[in-house]
């Protein structure tokens, strides 16, 4: 092993396309090299848009792959070791894999296990889980193996020389509850960069006499675009709202188009995909905004709750306590979030909603080849609904688009019903509040603090012993994500 001050690190991912994981890898390379470590990045394809490639080596077998065999996986492990030896002039000190269990490449788990059985020291960083609303990935990985036993004993390898890193404490808790030793488990929150900003509100070519709330996201289903429209209805006359981009994935475009058409039908102060045309740059949109919006029902890390403060913008929208709990623990105040938006059950067909709930739940468990627990439907219904003034309500954010559209049409046709919708008022934070939030972000999520945490984790991996490789049963991990109360019709 190299001396503790200088490490030879291999970072491995399926690709280096534009996206969150690629940004994490680039941040890791930057801080590790500043610390004097040597870094090799292994990818299934070239970096995008001419990004730095001098220490990137391409192994095509790392890219997305649905089929293969243990022989091909073994060859992949050999190819990775060969590239590392040639780059470093010897064996690397540590292998850092990103999303190895996501099943985007069915060879990954077997290749990782082979490296672990050879005594290599490994960090498996999990940004996303196949068990979290990705049954296609999960079944694809399961079908790669000859038996369920092989699947169970390969996906999550356990040994003294193998450590795991999650991007939030929720996922840390899930893996710990599933049986992963806490000594080999870490939280590695992403580093935050300042949002790009150029324009200023007085220059804004739209919403001249209104506040402007920007939702910096693509309009995929889990981003809960219907709730953005609800905010626009509630704050009509006060604010104009916009999402930044339309979905690229054809699977989501039809759903998004329904919202575009509803905006026109109801005459809402909203523009969806405002940056699609290229007329406005993202940095101008951020600069023109008065506040940032998020209505998402599911996030991995939660950049949208942190980044706005770096440019002096507060955040209005849906709270995701599993994610924001980490930020609050570190001292970040998020006073303008709501955990639910209660809608009277009498506004929709309650019987139909229950039927959709049961159908979605059965389909979800069936997709994962898991048994539906007794009373699961009742547990979900209890999590979704509340009693208020002797009448039942349901959270708008768990509803399927059909129900959300029905509610929005009712609210437009009956403006007095908006009084029943309780959402925190729009509030612009003062300079003291912004400065306090920025201190929290800088102290906990800066590139420097990220580098210190990463280096400390590497030291833990390198200072531990080595042992026989066993496994964490996949069924235990799956059980954490299939908890009935987590069901949401925007993710079915």
**14-47: per-residue pLDDT in tens?**
999 888 899 999 999 999 999 999 999 999 999 8
DSSP 8-state class, residue 19: S
Alpha-carbon gap, residue 255 to 260, rounded angstroms: 9
**63-108: per-residue pLDDT in tens?**
999 999 999 999 999 999 999 999 999 999 999 999 999 999 999 9
pTM to 2 decimal places: 0.93
* Mean pLDDT (whole number) for 300-316: 96
Residue 1 predicted with pLDDT over 60: no
Band the pLDDT of 2: cuts 50, 70, 90: very low
Band the pLDDT of 381: cuts 50, 70, 90: very high
Residue 424 predicted with pLDDT over 80: yes
- What 3-state class would DSSP assign to 287? helix
Residue 353 predicted with pLDDT over 70: yes
Quick count: other Cβ atoms within 10 Å of Cβ 286?
22
**127-148: per-residue pLDDT in tens?**
999 999 899 999 999 999 877 7
Can you name the CATH fold of 201-341+423-443? Answer: Rossmann fold (3.40.50)
Asked if 8-191+446-478 and 201-341+423-443 have one fold, the answer is yes
* Mean pLDDT (whole number) for 351-364: 95
Q: Answer with the residue of higher pLDDT: 427 or 193.
A: 427
- For the chain, give the percent of residues with pLDDT over 70: 99
Tokens linked to 67: 């089929």
Architecture of domain 8-191+446-478: 3-Layer(aba) Sandwich (3.40)
Give percent helix, percent strand, percent coil of the chain, each to the nearest 5.
45, 15, 40
84 Cβ neighbours under 8 A, 6+ residues apart? 8, 10, 40, 42, 91, 92
- Say what the pLDDT of residue 390 is: 66
**169-178: per-residue pLDDT in tens?**
999 999 999 9
Band the pLDDT of 3: cuts 50, 70, 90: very low
**208-242: per-residue pLDDT in tens?**
999 999 999 999 999 999 999 999 999 999 999 99
Tokens linked to 115: 């490296």
Q: Where are the domains of the chain?
A: 8-191+446-478, 201-341+423-443, 344-398
**454-477: per-residue pLDDT in tens?**
999 999 999 999 999 999 999 999
């Amino acid at each position: 092993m190299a001396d503790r001050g200088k490490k030879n690190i291999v970072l491995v991912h399926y690709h280096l396309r534009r996206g969150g994981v690629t940004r994490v890898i680039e941040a890791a390379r930057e801080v590790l090299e500043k610390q004097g470590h040597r870094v090799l990045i292994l990818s299934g394809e070239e970096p995008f848009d001419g990004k730095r490639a001098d220490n990137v080596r391409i192994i095509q077998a790392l890219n997305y792959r649905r089929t293969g065999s243990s022989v091909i996986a073994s060859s992949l492990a050999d190819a990775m070791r060969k590239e590392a030896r040639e780059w470093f002039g010897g064996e690397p000190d540590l292998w850092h894999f990103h999303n190895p269990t996501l099943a985007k490449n069915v060879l990954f788990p077997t290749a990782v296990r082979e490296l672990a059985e050879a005594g290599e020291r490994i960090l498996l960083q999990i940004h996303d889980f196949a068990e979290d609303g990705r049954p296609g990935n999960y079944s694809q990985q399961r079908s790669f193996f000859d038996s369920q036993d092989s699947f169970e004993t390969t996906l999550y390898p356990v040994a003294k020389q193998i450590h795991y890193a999650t991007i939030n404490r929720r996922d840390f808790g899930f893996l710990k509850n599933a049986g992963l030793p806490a000594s080999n488990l870490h939280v590695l929150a992403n580093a935050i960069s300042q949002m790009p900003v150029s324009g200023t509100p007085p220059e804004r070519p739209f919403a001249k006499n209104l506040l402007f709330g920007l939702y910096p996201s693509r309009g995929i289903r889990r981003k809960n675009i219907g709730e953005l429209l609800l905010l626009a209805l509630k704050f009509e006359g006060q604010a104009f709202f916009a999402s930044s981009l339309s979905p690229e994935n054809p699977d989501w475009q039809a759903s998004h188009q329904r919202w575009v058409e509803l905006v026109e039908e109801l005459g809402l102060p909203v523009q969806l995909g405002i940056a699609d045309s290229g007329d406005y740059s993202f940095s101008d949109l951020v600069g023109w905004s008065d506040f940032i919006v998020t209505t998402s029902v599911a996030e991995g890390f939660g950049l949208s709750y942190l980044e706005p403060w770096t440019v002096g913008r507060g955040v209005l929208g849906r709270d995701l306590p599993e994610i924001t709990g980490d930020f609050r623990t570190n001292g970040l105040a998020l006073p303008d979030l709501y955990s639910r938006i209660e809608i009277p059950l009498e506004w929709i067909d309650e019987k139909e909603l229950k039927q959709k709930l049961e159908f979605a739940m059965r389909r979800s468990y069936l997709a994962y080849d898991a048994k539906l627990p007794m009373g699961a439907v009742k547990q979900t219904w209890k999590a979704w609904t509340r009693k208020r003034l002797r009448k039942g309500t349901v959270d708008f954010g768990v509803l399927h688009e059909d129900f959300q559209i029905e509610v929005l049409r009712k609210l437009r046709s009956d403006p007095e019903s908006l009084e029943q919708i309780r959402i925190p008022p729009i509030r612009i934070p003062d300079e003291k509040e912004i400065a306090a939030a920025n201190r929290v972000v800088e102290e906990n999520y800066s590139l420097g603090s990220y580098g210190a945490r990463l280096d400390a984790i590497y030291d833990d991996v390198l200072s531990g012993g080595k042992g026989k490789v066993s496994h964490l049963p996949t069924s235990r991990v799956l059980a954490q994500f299939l908890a009935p109360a987590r069901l949401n019709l925007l993710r079915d």
